[in-house]
Structure 1
């Protein structure tokens, strides 16, 4: 269709953020859609390379009454983090020692907030999820919030083990999509330890205002944590019928 043609397919876009029914202008896409795609691509790249404002997040957490510990992975810069995922899964020696000294056995849950592949998502959504989840988990013993940079999901295994927690919860920025540069993911692991594989985890993903809102994610997380605690396991071994246990 030309730039000025009537768009008979626009109603489909009311049901999805995917790029569908874009039409055409000659042999190409309409200019508006080309520019929209370029903007989305730039936002996704920005999300990957934007650094987490650790000081701001730490201050906001502490204002909300959450004790924090700052750590970093063995990938000490963004380029290394992107090229060496293995280094992002482990704490650097100084951070590991710091958590060892802060060990508090008998903690039920430790939350690890990591920049991951979208610091934007963490900056916007991590604290609301933490705040709401904590209010729903008052009968659990919750350790300090670990804020980790250049971190992958599995770093929460080492952090949780060093802090003596029964359950580690990783809140991490997900890989940006062209319609979702600010998507937060949550990974729950029972008995965290170095070497755990993904089948040992449960995941809640696509947390952002346009999808699963932080408030709803907190409720889902609270239900999931109760199921994990009740069954003493997480991942593929967790019976699906227990995930819907009441709050």
Structure 2
């Protein structure tokens, strides 16, 4: 006998989250439509991991940004996934490319991370608003650095080589089954190779259905001002600005 579909009593909560809740049931099983939706979401997440950083040069030029291209020592995507350590070190050619010219207050790195598609969609709106807010405060931005096969800590070497006071790396987070387009922003004051994660601040879940880019840029600037005032970033720098939550830290990038 085929069991009828039963609605979940928590169904009303689906209005407030993209999480996989209140799926209903058919007998003791998940409904077929939910099983197929899960497989589709899993496929989107896998696609995001293997997505490539878009050619943002045209958009950056049109917006008046100088930019530099670099890559890590991970030669292929598979090597990047197997060897996170290689994603934290610049390859030799990129090392030669990074020649300092001045000491910018803020250096923004746009990196593929674990979801280049998230960065392709969300990085430029954040960058534009961040430039606007930096200009209002008299802070200088260095050239935008486009980094391929990059992990978060690659920003430390880049920032150190370009004499930046602070780095902001916009990077694709590990895709979730309801958020393959989620981008994170990591801030590090006085970047230098060898720093560990307690020296960084993270704002995550930057996407249209999460923390929208304009609000993310506002929070990034709030933390930048705090970092410059206190001379520190990471666990010693707190976001007590109120407003929308930053979201959870996504590890492993």
User: How high is the TM-score relative to the length of structure 1?
Assistant: 0.92
1:137 maps to 134
1:127 maps to 124
Asked if residue 77 in structure 1 is aligned to residue 76 in structure 2, the reply is yes
- Taking the aligned partners of 1:173 and 1:118, their CA distance within structure 2 comes to 4
Asked if residue 25 in structure 1 is aligned to residue 26 in structure 2, the reply is yes
- Taking the aligned partners of 1:125 and 1:20, their CA distance within structure 2 comes to 26
1:113 maps to 110
2:50 maps to 49
- How many residue pairs get aligned? The number is 239
Structure with the higher helix share, 1 or 2: 1
1:191 offset after TM fit, Å?
0.7
2:246 maps to none
Q: Is the 8 A contact 1:125 1:184 kept in 2?
A: yes
- Taking the aligned partners of 1:222 and 1:5, their CA distance within structure 2 comes to 48
After superposition, give the CA deviation of every residue in 1:120-179 in whole Å (9 maximum; x if it has no partner).
110000000000110000111110000000000000000000001010111100000001
- Taking the aligned partners of 2:7 and 2:173, their CA distance within structure 1 comes to 37
1:90 maps to 89
1:51 offset after TM fit, Å?
1.2
1:217 maps to 216
1:244 offset after TM fit, Å?
3.8
Higher alpha-carbon deviation: 80-89 or 216-225: 216-225
2:247 maps to none
Unpaired runs of at least 5, structure 2: 243-253
After superposition, give the CA deviation of every residue in 1:59-109 in whole Å (9 maximum; x if it has no partner).
11121111110000000110000000000001101101100x2x0232111
User: How high is the TM-score relative to the length of structure 2?
Assistant: 0.90
1:18 offset after TM fit, Å?
1.4
Unpaired runs of at least 5, structure 1: none
1:12 maps to 13
Q: How does 1:165-204 map to 2 (within 5 A)?
A: 165-204=164-203
CA RMSD of aligned residues (A): 1.6
1:216 offset after TM fit, Å?
0.5
SS class of match (1:141):
coil
- Taking the aligned partners of 2:226 and 2:161, their CA distance within structure 1 comes to 23
Q: Is the 8 A contact 1:3 1:30 kept in 2?
A: no
Stretches (4+) displaced over 2 A:
1-9
1:231 maps to 230
